[in-house]
Amino acid sequence: MSQQTMSEERSKLTHAIEDYLKFIYKLQQTGEKVTTSAIAERLNVSAASVTSMVKRLAEMNLLAHAPYHGVELTQAGARIALEVIRHHRLLELYLTQALGFGWDAVDAEAERLEHVISEEFEAKINEALGNPTLDPHGASIPTKDGEMDQTRYVPLSSAASGQRVVIRQVSDRDPDMLRYMTSIGIGIGMTVEVVEKAPFKGPVTLQVGDGQHALGLELADHIYVTAMNDER
């Protein structure tokens, strides 16, 4: 699809529609059934609003919905979702690398900008950044053709005591978590060691550089890693 065709197609969509498609796509990638209640919780809107939007998206042939069986994006819906995600993640990287934003601040900025940049502007950002494949949080950036690396990493909380792991991705949903990670020196691509895992959902003690830090299970669940000998 040409840049002009994509721009014309997206110009017919509201920001809300793009947000729904993006979040439904992300929920689908978890492998769980995408329900209206799950969408409502993630987007912080009422169930009635979700039901109305789902009906509208189905009428636009952007998703398929069967009562009690959840929703699933059509090919057209997934294509738009991936384009919005591409905009978002390229913007996040541009904001950190070119403008000096912290990784805890870029998600909110990119949310505002992802709907309004042109395909030409997106192409210029991509070129300026050297055709990147990962955003600042380690998430894959979809290609212009709508393809995305689907590699899944394991949460740090599942690593064994004494294991050395490489941090590949972190959740960007909580800026406070990201700021805390920054404060203890955690970053994408760095190697850390799990010193100890306390039982009964206790903290994970991590060796980060010369220091040790006890991470709560909630935080450890939002840091994704591979073993050091994993070449992915």
- Local confidence band at 142 (pLDDT 50, 70, 90 cut-offs): very high
Looking at the predicted structure, is the pLDDT value of residue 146 above 50? yes
pLDDT score, position 6: 52
- Each residue of 94-113: pLDDT tens digit? 999 999 999 999 999 999 99
Output the six-digit token pair for 176: 């406070």
Q: Could you tell me which of 195, 85, 202, 87 has the C-alpha nearest to residue 148?
A: 85
**pLDDT class of 66 with cuts at 50, 70, 90:** confident
Indicate whether 162 pLDDT > 50: yes
User: For residues 166 and 9, which has the higher predicted lDDT (pLDDT)?
Assistant: 166
Q: Is the pLDDT of residue 2 over 90?
A: no
- Partnered with residue 208 across adjacent β-strands are 211
Per-residue model confidence (pLDDT) at position 217: 93
For residue 230, pLDDT beyond 80: no
Confidence at residue 9, expressed as pLDDT on a 0 to 100 scale: 55
User: Which pair of tokens denotes residue 185?
Assistant: 């020196």
Residues 179-206: tens digit of each pLDDT: 999 999 999 999 999 999 998 888 999 9
Measured distance CA(58)–CA(44) in Å, rounded: 21
Least confident of 8-22, 75-89, 174-188: 8-22
Least confidently predicted of 14-18, 58-62, 159-163, 228-232: 228-232
Cα separation of 38 and 70, whole Å? 10
Residue found by looking up tokens 């110009």 in the block: 11
- 10 band by pLDDT with thresholds 50, 70 and 90: low
> Given a cut of 70, is residue 3 above it in pLDDT?
no
What amino acid is encoded at 224 in this protein?
Y
Domains and CATH numbers, the chain: 3-76 (1.10.10.10), 154-227 (2.30.30.90)
Question: Would you say the pTM of this structure is higher than 0.85?
Answer: yes
Distance, in Å, from the CA atom of 13 to the CA atom of 18, rounded to the nearest integer, reads 7
pLDDT band at 69; cut points 50, 70, 90: confident
The predicted pLDDT at position 1 comes to 45
> What confidence tier does 159 reach under pLDDT thresholds 50, 70, 90?
very high
